[in-house]
Amino acid sequence: MVNRRETGRRRHPARSTGLRGSRLRVSRLLAGWLLAGWLLAGWLLAGWLLVPAAAAQLRADAFRMTALSLRAEASTETRLHLYTRLPYTSLRFLTTADGFAARYEMLVEAYSVDDRNRRRDLVQRQSWTHTVRVANFAATQLDHLAHRTAHTLALPPGRYLLECQVEDPATNQTIRQEMIVDVRDLSGPLAVSDLMVLEDVNPQDGSFQPMAGHHVGAEQLHLTLRYELYTDRTRAVRAVLDVVRPRRGGGLPLVGSLFGLGRDDEWVVDYANTQALTLPPGRSAQIATIPLENLDEGSYLIRLRLEDERGTVVARAERPIVVEQWQGLHTHILDLASAIDQLKYIAKESDLAYIRSAPTEEERRRRFEAFWQRRDPTPGTSRNEQMMEYYYRVDYANRRYGGRAAGWQTDRGQVLVLFGQPDYVEQFDRDADGHPYQVWHYHRIGRRFIFIDRTGQGDYQLRTPLDDRIRIR
């Protein structure tokens, strides 16, 4: 009996302590709430700070580089200019006092090669450290935003194996890419540099941004080409520029140096232009525009030949390109009604209603453009990277997942439009109920999505629907 009474009193200490015990309980409760609040705030802050870190995933397929031979400024020697492009989504950004910053190291090694392009001796090694700074987190999540570099290597004319290694010290991730390059001898009385494809040109100050890699930008309706001509005296030449592709079954590669390979009848000419030029002594730069609307998806070769007055080829240069199926932002949004409908994943209903309620088509387009201008991560430039990225994903989803519904309206299309390409996709033959399913992994944002084909007809549906809180402000 005594033991039971003592146990009962310990169960109800407030009965013996009165008002003082009540105050003590309230104090403890308040302290617990405060502690929980601080822990929750700390957890949320830590999670927010780690979002940029989770976005880091160095991907070899995202890193692009191009090496071009140009003559040195103060001599006739050749310099190899290396242009690289690394998307922000491949870097780990950390918070700073004025935004976000990432750092990566790049090592470039040039090796001599034998007659079968196999690596031999190390000729040159250079390394650089690059720091990337952005003002807001949104910029770190767009594939169209990237850090570009330009470096110069002094290599004697010849063929080399160029190996580029990029390392993110914050994640210890490393990627490597190799390419065979030909450093051309440009010291003769008449020479032409390698062909430079430009991503952007500023007509006001003449500045330009070379394209790294061979894939033509998705937003372009035409391609801008730049090359330099070097001559020891005034000359009159004809510049013959064409775009060709191998005839079906020809089998000629479109990578590496192709000077002198193949006959003209092994190529199909899709574009050609001839221009008469009078070259002044020294260095002169030329700009050419190549339309892309008539080029199908695939690999092409751009050829430039300089001919004298007798039609003899006196200099030449070539550049491979890959044309992507996406025909550009301008073409995609020509159908304004569809472009507005496709905003449903990121726009508020009030925004959509405001755009659609415009009294005229012109005003409707103005409101549509204003919607995207307010969300331009690089205002003041000619390109809205977020808009380009969004509609490129819509177009890709339409091509990849279209069927009974437009590709962007399917579950897989919605996830792709909102989050981009997954880092990794797992395909399984059947789940517990015997249905095929896919798992899309997004390591850069710490999420995964499971799609189940319950009909057996490729109609993969998201197991857990997305919530309605994903909007760009």
197-253: pLDDT as tens digits: 998 777 677 788 898 988 775 456 688 899 999 999 999 999 999 999 876 544 433
Q: Are residues 159 and 212 in the same domain?
A: no
- Residue that is last in its domain, among 144, 160, 187: 187
Interval 317-343 mean pLDDT: 84
pTM for this predicted structure: 0.61
What DSSP string describes 102-127? EEEEEEEEEEEE-TT--EEEEEEEEE
Query: Are 79 and 179 members of one domain?
Result: yes
CATH of the domain at 264: 2.60.40.2550
What mean pLDDT, rounded, does the chain reach?
80
- Examine the pLDDT at 471 and tell me if it is beyond 60: no
Higher pLDDT, 425 or 273: 273
**What's the pLDDT score for residue 59?**
67
In a domain, 469, yes or no: no
Is residue 471 in a domain? no
Average pLDDT (399-404) is 80
At 32 the pLDDT is 53
Among residues 202, 193, 223, the alpha carbon closest in space to that of 211 is found at 223
350 and 320 within one domain:
no
Task: Give 345's DSSP letter.
Answer: G
Which of the two residues, 363 and 200, has the higher pLDDT score?
A: 363
**Is residue 414 predicted with pLDDT exceeding 90?**
yes
pLDDT in tens, 115-132: 888 899 999 999 999 999
Residue 143 binned pLDDT confidence (cut-offs 50, 70, 90): low
Q: Which range of residues forms the domain containing residue 155?
A: 55-187
Asked whether the predicted pLDDT for residue 421 surpasses 90, the reply is no
For residue 192, being part of any structural domain is answered with: no
Lowest model confidence (mean pLDDT) among 126-130, 355-359, 462-466:
462-466
Instruction: Indicate the residue among 13, 31, 54 that finishes a domain.
Output: 54
- What distance in Å separates the CA atoms of residue 252 and residue 236, rounded to the nearest whole number? 33
Q: What is the count of structural domains for the chain?
A: 4
60 and 11 within one domain: no
The answer to whether the Cα torsion of 417, 423, 425, 431 is positive or negative is: negative
Residues 35-45 have a mean pLDDT of 42
Domain-located, residue 193: no
Query: Domain boundary residue among 30, 54, 78?
Result: 54
Residue 48 has pLDDT above 60, yes or no: no
- Determine, yes or no, domain membership for 470: no
Write down the pLDDT at residue 200: 76
Band of pLDDT at residue 14, cut at 50, 70 and 90: very low
How far does CA 211 lie from the centroid of its chain? Answer: 12
Closest by CA position to 99, among listed 111, 107, 88, 112 = 88
18 and 132 fall within a common domain: no
Q: Is residue 196 part of a domain?
A: no
